[in-house]
Structure 1
């Protein structure tokens, strides 16, 4: 019976990890993708504008 108690925690952690990965993959994209992409594009545009204003050369 010791082998069962030794295997239960890793199996439970593996199941939860797989469930987490499935949730992450399923929530990619969808209706919020355009909003998230727009937020990233706006942040990049602000950073580029600030870099150009400082006069630092592009990498």
Structure 2
């Protein structure tokens, strides 16, 4: 029975990892993708506008 107790943790971790990856892939895109993209674009534009207004140069 030692082999069962040795195999259970890796099997459980593999199942949970697979579930996590499937969940992430399923949630890519969808109905809110355009809204999320617009929010990111707006945040980047705000940051860029602030940088230009203060005269900072990009570091990256």
TM-score normalized by the length of structure 2: 0.90
- 1:11 corresponds to which residue? 11
What whole-Å deviation, never above 9, does each CA across 1:15-45 have from its counterpart, x for those lacking one?
0110100000010000010011000000000
Runs of 4+ in 1 over 6 A off after TM superposition: none
- Report SS of the residue matched to 1:31: coil
Quick one: distance in 2 between partners of 1:56 and 1:4? 60
1:28-39 correspondence to structure 2 within 5 Å = 28-39=28-39
User: What is the CA RMSD across the aligned residues, in angstroms?
Assistant: 1.1
Please list every run of 5 or more consecutive structure 1 residues that lacks an aligned counterpart in the other structure. none
1:1-59 correspondence to structure 2 within 5 Å = 1-58=1-58
> Number of aligned pairs?
59
Deviation at 1:58, TM superposition (A): 4.5
Deviation at 1:55, TM superposition (A): 1.4
